[in-house]
Amino acid sequence: MNVAAKELKRDKLDSAVALISKSVDASQVGAAALEVRQGSFVFERCFGKAKTQDSVFLLASITKPMTATGLMVLVDRKAVALADPVRKFIPEFSGGDRDGITVRHLLTHTSGLPDQLPENVELRKRHAGLKDFVAGTCKTPLLFKPGSKVSYQSMGLLLAQEIAERVTKRPFRDFLRDEVFRPLSMTKTSLGLGGRKIPETMPSQVDNAPALYGTKENDWNWNSQYWRDLGAPWGGAHSTTADIHKFLNCFLNPDGRVVQAATARQMITNQTPGMNEAWGLGWSVQPGNFGKACSTRTFGHYGATGTVAWADPASGVRCVLLTTKPADGARAHLLGPVSDLVSEAAS
C-alpha cells in the first residue's frame, strides 16, 4: 500500500504538539509520546515524564489487534479457521447459542459476550489468573444472538488467546513475542511486563481512572504488579511509539513476515458490513473513529489508559499517541483532537 507522500503540513503537527504540551503543563497529563510517520518522514516528540521515545506505556486495548494477529498466524498455518466454532478448541464453552460462536465472532466483536465479566472486579481483587477469567467466560450469559450485531467484547479476545494456547501448547505471551514482535523487530514490546520493573514504565494516572480499573489505594489497579504482569490479551501489552509504528506498518505495507499479505489486508477490511459498527479482524475500521480528515480506509484502535494508534492507507500516514491520562477523559480533549490535526496535516 505504498502511497506517494505529500509533504505533511508542519503547522498542523506543531499545533498537535502545542495541544499536548498544554495538557502536560496544566498537570492534566503526566507523560505522553507522539510519533507521526509517512514514508521516510518521521515526526516525534515526548512530554512530561516521558523523556525519550523509548518510554514504555501500558497500551490497554491496542493489545487487541496484537492478540488477533497472533491468532491469525495460526489461521495462516491452517491450525485454526475463522469459521471454526470456539467449542472445537474450548469444549467447555458450549451449550445454547454458544455452540454457534465462531473464531470470526471473537475477532469482530460479534460474539454476544460481554466486554467484562459481571464478576470482573471480584476477580481482580483476588488477583485471579487468566484461566479464572476463561472459566467465567464459559459460563457468563450472552448478551445477544451471535453474529446479529457488534458489541465491544474484551472477553472475546480472551478466548482468542485461550484457543492459541491450546493449539500451540505455549504461553501466549511467548507466542506473540516469537511469532509477532520479534519478526517485526518490536524489541520493546511485550504482553505483560516482559521482565521489566514497573518503575521502568510510565505510570498510569489511576486517580482519574474509572472505578472498573481500581484506585491508587488498592493492589489491582493499572499500576499494580498484578495487573501489569497479568498479560491480559485484551489490554495488557506494553510498548513504545516506534514499536507500534512497526506493527501498523505490518498492515499498511504487508510483507509476509508475520501474516500473509492477503491476511493483513483482510484484517483491516470491514468484516461486519451492514451492522452497527465496522470492524476488521481486531482492528476498528469505523469511518470517523480517528482523525476527521482520515480516509474511510483508516484502521486503528484506542486504549483505555489513554492511547491511540491508527494508519491511513490513502495517505500513508501513521499516528501513535501514548499518554498516561485515561481515555474516558482524554479521548475527546486530547486523543481525538490530536488525531484530527495529524490527519489534517496530510490533507
pLDDT tens for each residue of 297-313:
999 999 999 999 999 99
SS3 161: helix
Residue-averaged pLDDT of the chain: 96
Q: Which residue's entry shows cell 445454547?
A: 96
Boundaries of every domain in the chain: 10-345
Burial class (CB in 10 A: 0-12, 13-18, 19+), 2: exposed
* 6 pLDDT higher than 90: no
* 19 pLDDT higher than 90: yes
C-alpha to C-alpha distance for 258 and 271, rounded to whole angstroms = 21
Percentage of the chain beyond pLDDT 90 is 93
Q: What letters, b where the CB count within 10 A reaches 16 and e where it falls short, cover 198-209?
A: eeebbbbbbebb
* Cell numbers that stand for 105 in this block: 465472532
* 90 pLDDT higher than 70: yes
* 5 pLDDT higher than 50: no
Question: What is the per-residue pLDDT for 234?
Answer: 98
Residue 162's CB is within 10 A of a number of other CB atoms, namely 23
Could you tell me which CATH class the domain 10-345 is placed in? alpha beta
Tally of CA atoms within 13 A in the half-sphere of 172 that contains its CB? 33
* Cell numbers that stand for 265 in this block: 489486508
Cβ 75 vs Cβ 267: under 8 Å: no
SS3 299: strand
Q: pLDDT by residue (tens digit) across 159-191?
A: 999 999 999 999 999 999 999 999 999 999 999
Residue 337's CB is within 10 A of a number of other CB atoms, namely 18
Q: How far out from the chain centre does Cα 330 lie?
A: 16
Question: What is the per-residue pLDDT for 7?
Answer: 79
Position 266: which residue type? Q
Q: How far out from the chain centre does Cα 345 lie?
A: 24
* Cell numbers that stand for 81 in this block: 479457521
Q: Which residue's entry shows cell 501489552?
A: 237
pLDDT grade for 65, boundaries at 50, 70 and 90: very high
Residue 48's CB is within 10 A of a number of other CB atoms, namely 20
Question: What is the per-residue pLDDT for 3?
Answer: 43
